[in-house]
Amino acid sequence: MSRRLKQFVLILGDITFLYLSLYLSLMIRYGASFEPSRFWRNFPLFSVVYAIWLAVFFIAGLYGIRSVWNIEDTLRKFVRAMVVNVSVAVTFFYLVPYFQITPKTVLVLDTIIFASLFGLWRLLFSRGIRAVGTVRSLVLIGSNKASLEIARNLIGHPELGYDLVAFFNPDNEPSPGWLKDSGILVGKNFSQLRKLIRSREIDSIVVSNDIYPKIFGELYRLIPTGIPIYNLYSFWEDLNRSIPISKVDKVWFLENLRGVKKKIYEVRKRWLDVLFAAILGVPAILVYPPIALGVKLTDGGPVFYRQKRVGKDGKLFEVIKFRTMVPDAEKRKARWAKRNDHRVTKFGRFLRATRLDEVPQLINVFRGEMSF
């Protein structure tokens, strides 16, 4: 099953269970007096809400490849997404009275039923994908002992769900015989990797820590492919729920003992970020349409501006803003805007002065790429 087909099935399933949840909620709410006409009266209003919910799910990464395999990570993202979704729904129903319908009492039932169906649906889908033998194609880049250890594990244990299709060693270190005899591609340069990506679908790229700084530029160029890039040890820990034994030493214990308090702080900070993003997201949704219309009417160009940034742990991400400059303002090269810069539109000056151009960055905050 291709990546796009998986995403389509996930979205279709979520839509089906959203409306099924609504139908069941109305049946429970009205009991013996329930009639199908009640469902159709609520259908238009909840369709607007569900469209927003699906958009939030997409932003949260619930339709990515990783969500198919890592059910625990999927459920964590789902909980965060539903905090935002319920906040949006409550605000929407309060601001938009729809004839004589008062769906607020149905929302609680709808949320509980959908959460239950969502968890069951995603679990069954994940197990179904595994049962039919679907595997994730993976490319490993590294040359140290840990990367070779992971390669050996993936080759020798296909039940893990990964198909190691290539091992790249940019340091030109000699490869062991078992790796050469495994039948996978053993490469040394990125032209081979780019050719491989063009010729077949790659689900993930895993890079060893020691080589990451040397090939940062090459990895940066792979962003447009949309292939997730993972840190070697994070991948190992996610795969085995442990760390490579080669990393356990005195320094590791010192770093991890010291990191306990840091971890607590990061979890608390993350929840606060999600909470503030949810609160600010409600008024943000209201100002999105007029701002988007203003940007579009200025010159007919794109509404949003995206720029590559380097975040925590060197992870690359795209920051999102409302466009304030003329289209192709950075076609030759990116440079900071100056005072009275001719590239900034009139409407763009207003957005910059009021900081409204940064409203879409709530998406980055919700994704965990930025913080307040």
Which parts of the chain are beta strand (E)? Answer: 136-141, 162-168, 185-187, 204-207, 229-231, 304-310, 316-322
Instruction: Write down the pLDDT at residue 24.
Output: 94
Among 170, 29, 203, which residue's Cα sits nearest to residue 109?
29
Among 21, 123, 144, which residue's Cα sits nearest to residue 73?
123
- The order of strands in the sheet holding 136-141 is 185-187, 162-168, 136-141, 204-207, 229-231
Three-state DSSP at 74 gives helix
Instruction: Write down the pLDDT at residue 185.
Output: 84
Instruction: Write down the pLDDT at residue 253.
Output: 46
Give me the residues of the chain with pLDDT under 50, please. 99, 241-255, 257-260
Burial bucket for residue 91 (CB in 10 Å: 0-12, 13-18, 19+): middle
Rounded-to-integer distance, Cα 46 and Cα 23, Å: 11
Find out whether 235 and 149 touch, Cβ atoms under 8 Å.
Answer: no
91, two tokens: 């605000």
Instruction: Write down the pLDDT at residue 249.
Output: 45
Instruction: Write down the pLDDT at residue 134.
Output: 57
Q: Give the HSE-up count for residue 180: Cα atoms under 13 Å, Cβ half-sphere.
A: 6
- pTM of the prediction? 0.47
Rounded-to-integer distance, Cα 101 and Cα 45, Å: 9
Spans of all domains in the chain: 3-131, 136-248, 270-367
Instruction: Write down the pLDDT at residue 273.
Output: 81
CATH architecture of the domain with residue range 136-248: 3-Layer(aba) Sandwich (3.40)
